[in-house]
Amino acid sequence: MTPAPGFPVVGMIGGGQLARMTQEAALALGVSLRILAAGPTESAARGGGDIRWGAHDDPEAVAAFAQGCDVVTFDHEHVPAPILVALVDAGLTVRPGPAALAHAQDKVHMRTAISAAGVPCPAWAVVSTPEDVVAFAGANSWPVVLKVSRGGYDGRGVWVVDGPEDAASVMSGNPLAPGVEWLVEQYVPFTRELAAQVARSPSGQAAVYPVVRTVQTDGICTEVVAPCPGLTDEHALAAQQVALRIAEALDVVGMLAVELFDTPDGVLVNELAMRPHNSGHWTIEGAVTSQFENHLRAVLDLPLGSPAARAPYTVMVNVLGGEHPDMYRAYRHVMARDPGLKVHMYGKDVRPGRKIGHVTVSGDDLESLLARAHHAADYLTGVIDE
């Protein structure tokens, strides 16, 4: 694969759907994206392009992959820090850098840093025994939320715990891997979940996207509405300011997604992602500049594109794997029924509950946008057949 003369090579570690959608943006910009994928059935590998094979936690594979890249960035965050530090020591450019990325890899590290920066978040503590959890609940209230500090995703590694027996059974049933801790948090009875995304470049330019409403079902993001309907200007501004503050305080480069809880008393930070994020898939059609393009612009230290919305509302609904392995079967019906709807499929093998695609639709009547997007997703998944 020979990059176009004069154009940079961006290396992305991880071959999931985020790398695949970043590849689309890279093609449009004429920038070469080199992707480190673990195997040929991964989403980005099926998308083609400059795919190199190797595991994200194999120091030699990552080092060989990074050689010749102008900048190295991430499709997923779980690349061990020592591997990234070795790249930096070898003179390579890694964005976001390992020190920033640590806050997206480790929820205790993140809570410690944002609490020190005065950013509002749920009450939390590091615990090691069920008795510690009981003491925390005594100082706050039941239920509480137990989380593993590292390695969780899509709700795996998160348990709502209702009492001492529950705490004991979660902790004994899920032995921690080395280097992982238990984090306990106050259960937040939020009115809704929000996400605020910022693109930030090494020169310090930042672009903040409209605040979106996210819906999590069994811990997995299923629906996003941009902008969040009914959010007060005060809370929207607070969420955007928190995201900008975190991006600067933690020296994030690239896309930062801040997941938040909206409550009557204000917004609280749940967690951070330092890469393109599911809450920003709506930006492909719904914003002037997609999160994938702005991630590339940011890590290349190019001026950022406008994050402004193109329509009053954009709705994104995830397509999760269901009982039917054949997604293409549904295309004729979905496309005939709704020519204004956009279908994205990630080229992944179907497994129940797995994120395999999403649909997006924009317009001004939110109720009908939601109905159209959910109909399409349910039809693709096989939940409904008419």
* Residues that bind ligand ADP in the complex, under the rule CB under 6 A: 122, 145, 147, 152-155, 158, 185, 187-188, 193, 216, 219, 259, 270-271
Spatial distance between the Cα atoms of 218 and 156, rounded to a whole number of angstroms: 9
The residue among 121 and 369 lying less far from ligand ADP, judged by its C-beta, is 121
Please identify, using beta-carbon distances, which residue of 289 and 318 lies nearer to ligand ADP: 318
135 binds, among ligand ADP, Mg ion, none (CB under 5 to 8 A by kind): none
3-state secondary structure 33-98: EEEEECCCCCHHHHHCCEEEECCCCCHHHHHHHHCCCCEEEECCCCCCHHHHHHHHHCCCCECCCH
Count of residues that interact with Mg ion, criterion CB under 5 A? 2
Question: Three-state DSSP class for 11?
Answer: strand
DSSP state, 279?
A: G
Kindly report the number of other CB atoms within 10 A of residue 117's CB atom.
Answer: 13
Report the nearest approach of ligand ADP to the CB of residue 158 (Å).
4
Nearer to ligand ADP, 111 or 375 (CB): 111
x-or-dash string of contact with Mg ion, 269-288, rule CB under 5 A: --x-----------------
Least CB distance to ligand ADP at residue 189 (A): 7
* Strands 71-74 and 158-161, bridge-based pairing: unpaired
- By CB under 5 A, which span of 24-32, 44-52, 60-68, 258-266 interacts with Mg ion? 258-266
* CB-facing half-sphere around the CA of 151: CA atoms within 13 A: 13
User: Which H/E stretch holds residue 268?
Assistant: strand 266-273
Q: By CB under 5 A, which span of 44-52, 103-111, 193-201, 254-262 interacts with Mg ion?
A: 254-262
CB-nearer residue toward Mg ion: 12 or 110 = 110
In whole angstroms, the minimum distance from the beta carbon of 197 to Mg ion comes to 13
Give me the residues that bind Mg ion (CB under 5 A), please: 259, 271
